[in-house]
Every structure is written in C-alpha cells, then in structure tokens.
Amino acid sequence: MSELNNIAIKILENGKGILAADESTGTMTKRLDGVNVPSTPENRLLFRETLFGSLSMKKCIGGVILYDETIKQTTTKKNKIPELISKMGSLPGIKVDTGTKALAGSLEEKITEGLDGLRERLKEYNELGAKFTKWRGVYNISKNYPSKLSVHSNAHALARYSALVQECNMVPIVEPEVLMDGDHSVKQCLEVTSEVIKKCFDELIAHKVDLKGMILKPNMILAGNKSREKVSNEQIAKLTLECLQSSVPSEVPGIAFLSGGQSEIEATENLNLINKHNNTNFIMSYSYGRALQQSALKHWSKDIQDIEGTQKVFNHRAEMNTLAAQGKWSKDLEI
C-alpha cells in the first residue's frame, strides 16, 4: 500500500470520521453571532481548541480539516494546533480552495477558485503539519442547472487540485457538493449527483491522480429542501448507495459524506442506514461540520469557560456518528 493510501485509510478506519472545522472567518462569525458570542480570533480559537482537546478525538475523529487562520494558531497551552490534533491521535488537514465566484459563461452558477499559487501554499501547509487537504465544488439543481459548463469546470478544478496535492505527498479530499437548495425531487438529485461524480473521476483519471490515495466527500441523495416530496431514510440510503456504486471506481478507499443542511440526528440516522446496507468495499463515514458541532456550540455559548461540559456534548455527537459509520447506531442511544 502507498503512503497516501495508508493516510486515507487511517483517517476513516474503525468508524472514525472527519471533523470539518474549516469554516472561514466570515462563516465562523455568522455561527458565533447566531449564539451571541463575539467573533474574536481568541474566541474562535477557544471553541476549536475545546473540540480538538476532547476525548472523542482519540477514538472517533481520524482527521480535522482546518482553515488557514487556525492551522497557524497556538493553543493556550502553547501547542501549535496541528501538534494538539496529532497528540490526540488524529491527523491535521487544511481547506485549500479560496471560495466560490460566479462562473464566467453561466453567472448563476459557481466555480471554486484557488489554483493560482496552490503549489507554494501546499508546501507551506505540509511544513505546518497537514497530512490531507480539502477542495469543495458546488452545483445547483434547477430546471436549467447544473450546466455542462459547471459540471466540467468544477471537475477539472478538483482534478488539478488533487494532482498538485498528491505531488506534495498529501491526500486530497474531493468534495463535489450538489446543494440541497431548491424544490428538486430525489430522482433529480440522484441523476445530477451521478453525473457530477462520474465527470470528477473522468478528470481525476485524466490528471493521473492516484485514486487509492484520495477520499471522496459527496452529498447524500436527498430531495430539495423546498420539495414537498416525502422521502424515507431507507430510500435515501438505498439511492445514495446506488449512486456511489455506479459512479465511484473501486480503487477509492473511502467516502466521507458531508451533512449538507441535515440536522445532527438526520445526518447520523442516514449514515447509519447507508452502512447497514453497504455491501461495497468502500469505507463509508462522515466529514461533518455543523452536524458535529452545533449542539456543542450552543452549550459552549452559555459559558465559554465550560470546557468540560462542551467536550461532553461534542463527545456524544462524535460517538453517535462513529457508531453510525459502523451501522451500529440507534435512536435509543441519543440523550
């Protein structure tokens, strides 16, 4: 096995998942504003340091995706953030895209930017301790979208990014997110997500990316958040597996789902059912942001010095998702 394949498996093996703590300063400010905590660098660091120092990091969290600000910060105990994460038995990672802009030629859609200067930035992040990276492409579903241009352009960017990351001996997480915004049916989501993922792999293969040394971070197959269609959790699991079996080459070691607007319990329940029915060789786990952090953030906001209480809430959520990544979760285990 290659070194990159070893890293990818280490992040996701034994039910471990990924904590997506890569919110930009703007996004983190919105989250903190939502719970009435001032968004200062110190407060952003304190919340993240609280999560990164929790016990569940050892047995549940295989990797943490950081933001540029966070990977360069030092904890209150004078450890560098990547050192703290490594000490807890997890691997530090980094979001390397620079966000989305309007796509020239189809201005209602988005293209992810950040390829300029990426080779140099990757070297710096690698020296800071990052073992893996993340890049997110986004796609809308509507009557006219996603366009062929959007599907092709974002797949091409994801592949170029992945090739540069592997050149720097890190594992790329490839995140093509079909957004759940809209009134589309679950069938439309299945069709679009399948097309998007297949195009990504066409480009990854063309760019000579080692598929054994990457992780796919897709959305689950869900109806749009404005759709009136009633879709059962069983159906979501079945269609998600159908999509991935037909779209993802067998060399890929692991799939880590994004939560994409689902509640904490929904994201856990759907992951659990996917794993109950998973008869593929893919590891299927989680790479959650809000669906891992939201309850902990609410608890912490009441008293930002209550480290132990916040960690207890976070540990519970991480443990629930790690059980779900093994198909062993049940609602009875929820507090």
What residues act catalytically? 217
Query: 100-103 and 106-112: which strand pairing?
Result: antiparallel
Q: CA geometry: angle at 187 spanning 250 and 135, to 5°?
A: 50
Distance separating alpha carbons of residues 146 and 155, to the nearest angstrom: 12
Q: Is the dihedral of CA 29, 31, 37, 40 positive or negative?
A: negative
Look up residue 195 and give its two tokens. 């097309």
In contact, 140 and 181? CB cutoff 8 Å: yes
Look up residue 66 and give its two tokens. 């950081």
In contact, 50 and 297? CB cutoff 8 Å: no
DSSP string, 188-255: HHHHHHHHHHHHHHHHHHHTT--GGG-EE-PPP----TT------HHHHHHHHHHHHHHHS-TT--EE
Distance separating alpha carbons of residues 324 and 307, to the nearest angstrom: 26
DSSP string, 208-220: T--GGG-EE-PPP
Within 13 Å and on the Cβ side, how many CA atoms surround 48?
A: 34
Distance separating alpha carbons of residues 309 and 303, to the nearest angstrom: 9
The torsion angles phi and psi of 14, rounded to 5 degrees, stand at 55, 35
DSSP string, 275-315: HHH--SSSEEEEEESHHHHHHHHHHHHH-TT-HHHHHHHHH
